[in-house]
Amino acid sequence: MLSTLAAAMAADPTKGLKAIALGVGAGLGTIGPGVGVGYIFGKVIESVTRQPEMRDEITSIQWLGFALTEAIVFYAFIFGLIAFFL
């Protein structure tokens, strides 16, 4: 793997650095949404155990919140890709 990386670096150093930047940026971008998704599901478990009769309503809001939070990972990823290809 290191030899592949070294070959890529030798051919075009900025491309290798850009690839590393994309990986680090997208990776760091997953931290916040990761915390957020965990928080949403934790809160859902908490509220369902408190009020089990509200389960259906909570579930539909839960998926909305999950999808909205999860999408933030992909914003980081897409902007990383834009930086990589520009």
**Which stretches of the chain bind other proteins, using CB under 8 A?**
1, 3-4, 60, 63-64, 66-68, 70-71, 73-75, 77-78
12 residue type, one letter? D
- Closest approach, Cβ 4 to other proteins, in A, equals 6
Of the pair 17, 68, the CB lying nearest other proteins is at 68
Of the pair 28, 68, the CB lying nearest other proteins is at 68
Of the pair 44, 73, the CB lying nearest other proteins is at 73
In this structure, are residues 76 and 28 in contact, taking their beta carbons and an 8 Å threshold?
A: yes
In this structure, are residues 22 and 84 in contact, taking their beta carbons and an 8 Å threshold?
A: yes
Measured CA to CA, the distance from residue 62 to residue 55 in angstroms comes to: 10
